[in-house]
Amino acid sequence: MLGLKATMTVIDNSGALVAECVNVLRTPSSKGLARIGDEIVIVVKKARPIPHDAPSSATTQRVRRGDVRHAVVVRTAKETTRKLADGRTVRFDDNACVLLNNRKEPLGTRINGVVGAELRTKGWSKILALASKVV
């Protein structure tokens, strides 16, 4: 579960590396804490540098430090209990998210790393299709 000011890694190829949560959206019962599959608002704290010789079309898609974006939580360090399984708990090493565009689609074209299977029940199938591994 993630709350306000929680830092996380961005695991897509949008250009952001580290993000900080500033608001949790769509969680009527969790009292401002985000779980896997919840949408949040983040501020980019660290991003990849943009080369000076890059064409202007390449810089329009890139994310810069200080940008405010929407994202989906795909991993949390706090353990979660799976309801459909036999009560197993799943815990990841870190918190991670994937950035979204204005149409609620992933901003990047690749997702590097593991994502939680709870995304399937929350309706984020496009993220699952791009992910290399689902746990």
All structural domains of the chain, each given as residue ranges with its CATH number in brackets, are 7-134 (2.40.150.20)
The answer to whether the CB of 36 falls within 8 A of the CB of 75 is yes
The string of DSSP letters for 12-77 reads: BSSSEEEEEEEEE-S-TTTTT-B-TT-EEEEEEEEEPPPPTTS-HHHHHH---TT-EEEEEEEE-S
Does residue 111 sit in helix, strand or coil? Answer: strand
- The whole-model pTM stands at 0.88
* pLDDT tens track for 7-60: 999 999 999 999 999 999 976 777 889 999 999 999 999 999 877 776 665 545
- Percentage of residues in the chain having pLDDT higher than 90: 70
* pLDDT at 117 > cutoff 80: yes
The band of 86, judged by pLDDT with boundaries at 50, 70 and 90, is confident
* Residue 7: per-residue pLDDT: 96
Amino acid identity for residue 129 in this structure: A
Q: Burial-class residue 93 by CB neighbours within 10 Å (0-12, 13-18, 19+).
A: exposed
